Structure 1
Amino acid sequence: MNTSSHQIGVWLDQLPADRRAEVEALAGQVRAAVPGLDEAIKWNRLTFTAGGDWHHWVCAVAATKHGASLSLHKGALLDDPERLLTGDGQYLRTVPGARAGEHAAALADLLRQAVDRQRDMLPG
């Protein structure tokens, strides 16, 4: 087991069983949509990136007492016809875990776009 895998296991072990199941389901959706991403616990979230670029991370799964959610670092740049993304920050957008599960194909498309736009910036 590498250090990241150990850290992920320790982080998952501290979650309540229902929250852990939600986190693992979201993480599974990420892994299925974009195989081979790097994973680590960053900012108290299960965070995914491509090419080891943690400055321009792709997405992160967070667990709160209210549920799990998926944050997309450059979500504001993505085409979202299903309107899954919430938030109004400059870049960050979030998909609630329940909506992610209900719209797996749309989420997979958002995740692939997120990898393609990993280093993109807003004009201006």
Structure 2
Amino acid sequence: MRPGPRSKALISAWLDFQPPAQREVAQALRAAVREAEPALDEIIRWGQLVFVWGGAPLLAIAPHRGHVNLQIFNGYLLPPDLGPLEGHGRGTRSYRCRLQQPVDVVQVQMLVAASVARAPSEAGAGLPRDEG
């Protein structure tokens, strides 16, 4: 597996490339994630800003036309009452942040902390793998 690009300049360029409304929400999400868990690595993968824990993708910021999602790759392991998450089954969960609304920093930090706490101790065990 080839590691993704990790330079701060590339991450800044990715943020700058986003339309203004999405950029504002993505920057607020990124700040909340970084504050909740500074040890997460950041890379650009799959056209998203991905946060890596132990060598495996754990979270991602995915901009869309009318919102920005915080994708939680191990979200199916989180308690259902932790927050309004989209998705079901053994897949990714998403926390949707609407444009023109403030990001709920406390909610994001709780989701990040819960996701990190439930991350496998061995890198990548049980998380989606990057094939390219």
TM-score by length of 1: 0.81
The 2-side partners of 1:89 and 1:15 are apart by 30
Aligned to 1:38: 41
Q: Percent identity among equivalent residues?
A: 29
The 2-side partners of 1:62 and 1:4 are apart by 19
Q: Which runs of 5+ in 2 are unaligned?
A: 127-132
Does 1:75 find its partner at 2:75?
Answer: yes
The 2-side partners of 1:40 and 1:100 are apart by 25
Alpha-carbon contact 1:31-1:37 (below 8 Å) kept? yes
Q: AA paired with 1:59?
A: L
Instruction: Provide Cα deviations, 1:47-94, integer angstroms capped at 9, x if missing partner.
Output: 10123x1xx311000111112110000000012424321112423000
Q: AA paired with 1:109?
A: M
Q: AA paired with 1:96?
A: R
The 2-side partners of 1:110 and 1:13 are apart by 26
Structure (1 or 2) with the greater helix fraction: 1
Point out which structure has higher relative CO (alpha carbons under 8 A, 6+ apart).
2
Q: Which runs of 5+ in 1 are unaligned?
A: none
* RMSD, aligned α-carbons: 2.2
The 2-side partners of 1:82 and 1:114 are apart by 11
Mapping of residues 25-64 of structure 1, within 5 Å? 25-51=28-54, 53=55, 56-64=56-64
Q: How many residue pairs were aligned?
A: 116
C-alpha displacement of 1:3: 4.8
Q: AA paired with 1:107?
A: V
Alpha-carbon contact 2:83-2:107 (below 8 Å) kept? no
SS for the counterpart of 1:81 is: helix
Alpha-carbon contact 1:85-1:94 (below 8 Å) kept? yes
Alpha-carbon contact 1:77-1:91 (below 8 Å) kept? no
